[in-house]
Amino acid sequence: MNNYSNIPIRLENKGADEYILNMGPQHPSTHGVLRLVLKLDGETVKDIVPDLGYVHRGLEKLFENRAYGQIIPYLDRTDYLSAMNNEWAYVMAVEKLMAIEVPQRAEFMRVIFAELNRIMSHLLWYSAYGMDIGALTPLLYAFREREEVIDMVEAACGGRLTHNYYRIGGFRQDLPKGFFDMLKKFISHFNDKVDEYEALLINNVIFMKRAQGVGVLKKETAINYGVTGPNLRASGADIDLRKQDAYGVYGRLDFKACLRDNGDTWDRCKARMAEMRESLKILKQCMDMIPEGEVMAKVPKIIKPAAGEVYTRVEGPKGEVGVYIVSNGTEKPYRIKLRQPSFSNLSVIKEITVGHKIADLVAIMGSLDVIIPEIDR
């Protein structure tokens, strides 16, 4: 049985007209096994505390007893909607420790699958968010195109949700025959579909009334809490690791960071819609620029990095995905620490919710796009 003595919201601390409400841990709008402890005055939120740990699996400790190559499948099971980006952050860290140069074809493939992964994640967010606020139809539209993306990923690696495709030094195998035909077909019509999604939900006047001016996250607050990704850029901070770090071949590609000004729930939604359009631009360029060649560098059969430490990061769909590795020169890492965006993004929930109605909490929570397994890992 959980011990809730550390929860700062207690019955004895509430006012005469206030009461405590548990939202979760089994609730469709918490996007995972998350408990939100609310102090309410009528329907107004006076205080809120997230209670985590329901699906903790001890992954980081488990990594200490696995060979470097055996760790990759576990990364798919943190944010399972961003599996490719998680794998990339990890293999890039090991490659940096071992000074491995990845073939150019593999570098372009990594960008392609990272951006397909971004579109997959944003489409699922759009679908689930619509249902959170009472709109079922967006799911039926978005899953139509999401299936196309999943089919491409499945053709390449055999997995629809967890992929285990990236390898230290490149990829497990090259792209299948006909992959670029599938990608070209998808690119040709997806931009129009994003316009359709926006007209259906995001620019719907009822939704705008529900989202504009609600859950405003100021840029300074976002930075102080370590918020990253679309949630940060929607508050006006021009920070996109694909631009700042220019890892992989992003430095050779023409795209822009998708910024907004107000930092409210609506701006966070608009930022993600714009990101899908930018992902399309990136995919078009990669398809034109990708060279022929090997997809795997020559690496030792036994991965044994020299003693040292390294931190690498990528721009995942939800923000900065970072991997810190400490190597002691053996076949297994001494320590691995994952930096996942949802923890920081969720931490800001009190700052942007107190004073709003409980119905607004559902809209605010969904706009942050957190996923609990990458927090409880």
User: Is 183 part of any domain?
Assistant: yes
Q: Which domain holds residue 46?
A: 11-51
Considering the chain, what is the average pLDDT of its residues? Answer: 92
User: Is 6 part of any domain?
Assistant: no
Dihedral in degrees, nearest 10, Cα atoms 155, 371, 318, 40: 150
Q: What percent of the chain has pLDDT over 70?
A: 94
User: Is 201 part of any domain?
Assistant: yes
> pLDDT digit string (tens) for 36-89?
899 999 999 999 999 888 888 899 999 999 999 999 999 999 988 899 999 999
Q: For 39-58, b where at least 16 C-beta lie within 10 A, e where not — what string?
A: bbeeeebbbbebbbeeeeee
Bridge partner list, 338: 323
Contacts of 188-192 with C-beta under 8 Å, sequence gap 24+, read: 190/119, 190/145, 190/276, 190/280, 191/277, 191/280
Looking at the fold, whether 272 and 233 belong to one and the same domain comes out as: yes
Looking at the fold, whether 37 and 149 belong to one and the same domain comes out as: no
User: Is 255 part of any domain?
Assistant: yes
Give, as one character, the DSSP assignment of residue 174: P
User: Is 121 part of any domain?
Assistant: yes
Instruction: Answer yes or no: is pLDDT of 16 > 80.
Output: no
**Is 295 in contact with 112 (CB distance < 8 Å)?**
no
Looking at the fold, whether 96 and 226 belong to one and the same domain comes out as: yes
Which of 93, 87, 86, 70 has its CA nearest to residue 324? 93
Residue 52: predicted pLDDT? 87
Looking at the fold, whether 163 and 204 belong to one and the same domain comes out as: yes
User: Is 5 part of any domain?
Assistant: no
Looking at the fold, whether 42 and 63 belong to one and the same domain comes out as: no
Residue 25: predicted pLDDT? 78
User: Is 1 part of any domain?
Assistant: no
Looking at the fold, whether 19 and 127 belong to one and the same domain comes out as: no
pLDDT higher at 196 or 22: 196
Peptide bond connecting 25 to the previous residue in cis, omega within 30 degrees of 0:
yes
Looking at the fold, whether 35 and 110 belong to one and the same domain comes out as: no
Looking at the fold, whether 34 and 142 belong to one and the same domain comes out as: no
Looking at the fold, whether 97 and 16 belong to one and the same domain comes out as: no
Looking at the fold, whether 45 and 66 belong to one and the same domain comes out as: no
Burial class (CB in 10 A: 0-12, 13-18, 19+), 347: middle
Amino acid present at 346: L
pLDDT level of residue 34 (50, 70, 90 thresholds): confident
Looking at the fold, whether 30 and 103 belong to one and the same domain comes out as: no
**Is 289 in contact with 104 (CB distance < 8 Å)?**
no
**Is 156 in contact with 113 (CB distance < 8 Å)?**
yes
Instruction: Answer yes or no: is pLDDT of 377 > 90.
Output: no
Measured in whole angstroms, the distance separating CA 374 from the mean position of its chain's CA atoms is: 9
What's 142's domain CATH number?
1.10.645.10
The count of domains in the chain is: 2
pLDDT level of residue 18 (50, 70, 90 thresholds): confident
Looking at the fold, whether 17 and 129 belong to one and the same domain comes out as: no
User: Is 340 part of any domain?
Assistant: yes
